[in-house]
């Protein structure tokens, strides 16, 4: 199982965004995580499709856009035009999830579904086949630098079982409190894609931090393989 590291620009120095992105890509980051918040679905406001478009003009790296907004379907077209790669909607934020995932795929993007800590995995059980990325939140979304939600490790383990049961090849991404202290156990539980904002962008050397998180995640993935 390959490991993917997805630095979240939420914790980057936005006045020097492209420098920050260049640093993490130099460290081998696999995709850039873009946290889109509307001040309604979550109690914070960040950025929208223009930031994704600006990043796309500067890098060919996959853009992993995480929509923490109500009625995310309204943003499919702007993010498609911006050049997003993954577009992840929250199951709690919309009715008719399946229809919107199909629309994302029709627009040539890879559809993802995110689940808040309190949302059971059953929310996606019926539509696993439509999903290219399952995002298990390990904080309540809204802010960077929050404490890791401990039951998240067990939820990741059950999410991995769910994907395996459906023979899904979707990425299993974790977001929130991912750091040196948590990444290895999350990989051992079956996550393969790791969002980290605070841990990477507050490090003295963000590129080295990407490499260190990858090293620990690979060790965790190895533990998992050894158990099988
Ligand atoms: C949280 C966002 C995260 C956030 C993670 O609402 O979805 O992507 O940037 O931040 P850290 O890694 O600082 O917990
Ligand atoms: Zn996120």
For the Cβ of 196 lying below 6 angstroms from any atom of ligand 1, the answer is yes
Q: What are phi and psi for residue 102, nearest 5 degrees?
A: -65, -40
Q: Which atom of ligand 1 approaches the CA of 140 most closely?
A: 6
For the Cβ of 72 lying below 6 angstroms from any atom of ligand 1, the answer is no
For the Cβ of 46 lying below 6 angstroms from any atom of ligand 1, the answer is no
Give the chain's mean pLDDT. 98
**Cα distances (angstroms) measured from residue 59 to each of 45, 83, 169:** 24, 11, 26
Q: Is the pLDDT of residue 62 over 80?
A: yes
What is the pLDDT at residue 66? 99
Q: Is the pLDDT of residue 219 over 80?
A: yes
What is the pLDDT at residue 15? 98
19 given a catalytic annotation: no
**Cα distances (angstroms) measured from residue 3 to each of 31, 142, 185, 220, 227:** 11, 25, 13, 10, 18
30 given a catalytic annotation: no
Q: Give the list of residues 6+ apart from residue 122 with CB closer than 8 angstroms, or none.
A: none
Average pLDDT over residues 97-105: 98
Share of the chain above pLDDT 90, in %: 99
Residue from 30, 35, 132, 192 carrying the catalytic annotation: 35
Q: Which residues of 108-117 are buried (b: 16+ CB within 10 A; e: fewer)?
A: ebbbbbbbbe
């Amino acid at each position: 199982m390959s490991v993917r590291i997805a630095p979240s620009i939420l914790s980057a120095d936005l006045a020097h965004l492209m420098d920050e992105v260049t640093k993490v890509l130099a460290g081998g980051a696999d995709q850039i995580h873009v946290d889109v918040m509307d001040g309604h679905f979550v109690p914070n406001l960040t950025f929208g499709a223009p930031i994704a478009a600006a990043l796309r003009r500067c890098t060919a790296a996959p853009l992993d856009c995480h929509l923490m907004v109500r009625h995310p379907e309204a943003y499919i077209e702007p993010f498609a035009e911006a050049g997003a790669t993954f577009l992840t909607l929250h199951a709690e934020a919309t009715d008719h999830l399946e229809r919107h995932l199909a629309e994302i795929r029709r627009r040539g993007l890879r559809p993802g579904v995110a689940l808040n800590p309190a949302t059971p995995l059953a929310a996606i059980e019926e539509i696993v086949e439509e999903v290219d990325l399952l995002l298990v939140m390990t904080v309540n979304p809204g802010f960077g630098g929050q404490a890791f939600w401990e039951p998240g490790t067990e939820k990741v383990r059950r999410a991995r079982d769910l994907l395996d049961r459906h023979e899904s090849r979707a990425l299993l991404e974790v977001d929130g409190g991912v750091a040196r202290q948590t990444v290895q156990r999350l990989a051992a539980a079956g996550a393969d894609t790791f969002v980290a904002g605070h841990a990477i962008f507050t490090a003295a050397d963000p590129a080295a931090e990407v490499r260190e998180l990858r090293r620990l995640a690979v060790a965790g993935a190895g533990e998992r393989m050894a158990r099988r």
